[in-house]
Amino acid sequence: MNANAQRPMISACIISMNEADRIEECIASLDFCDEVLVVDSHSTDNTRELAEAAGARVIERDWPGHVKQKEFTIRAATHDWVLCVDSDERISPPLREQIIALRDAGFVGKDGWNMPRLCSYLGGWIRHGNWYPDRQLRLFHRERAHWGGHDPHDRVQMKGPVGELAGDLIHHPYRAFSDHLGTMDKYTTIMAQGLYDRGKRSSMTKVVFHPTWKFLRFYFVKRAFLDGWRGLLLAYLAAHYTRLKYAKLLVLEREQARPEL
């Protein structure tokens, strides 16, 4: 990787756990960065070895949650300008060229840039619904930003102006349909617990009607119908995600309110 003192340096930041089948391609798409840092949560496959062989600096660390792990990663990076990419994401050639141009110009005028994320799903690209453009703020100066949000849905919070890039961040979120279903179950459990801890409460009204609105908005307002059967399936699953979240929150409330025998 080329280190040129006349321009800002970029640290690419990745979190990983058991990503041996994807980590090399992810790192390869970041070959224009001055450092690639991988923070790994005790993978049981050879993710760490593959990452090191691909030129990354690897730190092994316990998993504290999405937000805390990503915040740790940007603070552990060598350079102040960071590009945060998940193991299942890739920098597309057009996005690569845009980032290089920004870097060579000194990142003038903005403290960060967001980019559209294009997802593949069951053999096709999803260009509508809530899945696209799904802009992600991933390139930023770490002294003017931090990772926030609520697990598992982390997000970057900026202090300064943010620009927009046109090149796509490529995302391969699920290895199989069963992977999607398993992730939904895991994430809705985390979401329900987080909502409960923050004092949020559910109801049968939320369990019944919030998913309906989610489906209508995803499929019609966001035009997921243009993605064919995949769009219809994703709209249904988005509604189901909402239903599971509020149902699990409702059950959690009832369990916490139940008197001990």
CATH number at residue 150: 3.90.550.10
Query: What is the tally of structural domains in the chain?
Result: 2
Note whether 95 and 159 are same-domain residues: yes
Please indicate, yes or no, if residue 149 is contained in any of the structural domains. Answer: yes
pLDDT above 60 for 223:
yes
Q: Quick one: which H or E segment has residue 95?
A: helix 93-104
Q: Residues 57-93, buried b or exposed e (16+ Cβ, 10 A)?
A: ebeeeeeeebbebbbbbbeebebbbbbbbbbbbbbbe
Note whether 157 and 245 are same-domain residues: no
Please indicate, yes or no, if residue 191 is contained in any of the structural domains. Answer: yes
pLDDT above 60 for 261:
no
| Cα 39–Cα 135–Cα 145 angle in degrees, nearest 5 | 55
pLDDT above 80 for 85:
yes
Please indicate, yes or no, if residue 1 is contained in any of the structural domains. Answer: no
Tell me the residue range of the domain where 36 lies.
10-171
Note whether 107 and 188 are same-domain residues: no
Please indicate, yes or no, if residue 118 is contained in any of the structural domains. Answer: yes
Percent of the chain with pLDDT over 90: 96
Last residue of a domain, one of 140, 171, 202: 171
Note whether 141 and 62 are same-domain residues: yes
- pLDDT: which is higher, 247 or 3: 247
Per-residue confidence band for 3, with pLDDT thresholds at 50, 70 and 90: very low
pLDDT above 90 for 1:
no
Please indicate, yes or no, if residue 143 is contained in any of the structural domains. Answer: yes
Last residue of a domain, one of 106, 137, 171: 171
Whether 46 contacts 19, CB under 8 Å: no
Note whether 213 and 243 are same-domain residues: yes
Please indicate, yes or no, if residue 4 is contained in any of the structural domains. Answer: no
Note whether 152 and 182 are same-domain residues: no
Please indicate, yes or no, if residue 46 is contained in any of the structural domains. Answer: yes
Arithmetic mean of pLDDT, 134-142: 98
Note whether 148 and 67 are same-domain residues: yes
Of 31, 36, 33, the C-alpha closest to 52 is: 36
Please indicate, yes or no, if residue 95 is contained in any of the structural domains. Answer: yes
Note whether 224 and 114 are same-domain residues: no
**pLDDT tens per residue across span 163-209:** 999 999 999 999 999 999 999 999 999 999 999 999 999 999 999 99
Percent of the chain with pLDDT over 70: 97
Note whether 184 and 165 are same-domain residues: no
* Integer Cα distance of 208 and 224 in angstroms: 22
Last residue of a domain, one of 171, 194, 209: 171
Note whether 33 and 72 are same-domain residues: yes
Note whether 37 and 90 are same-domain residues: yes
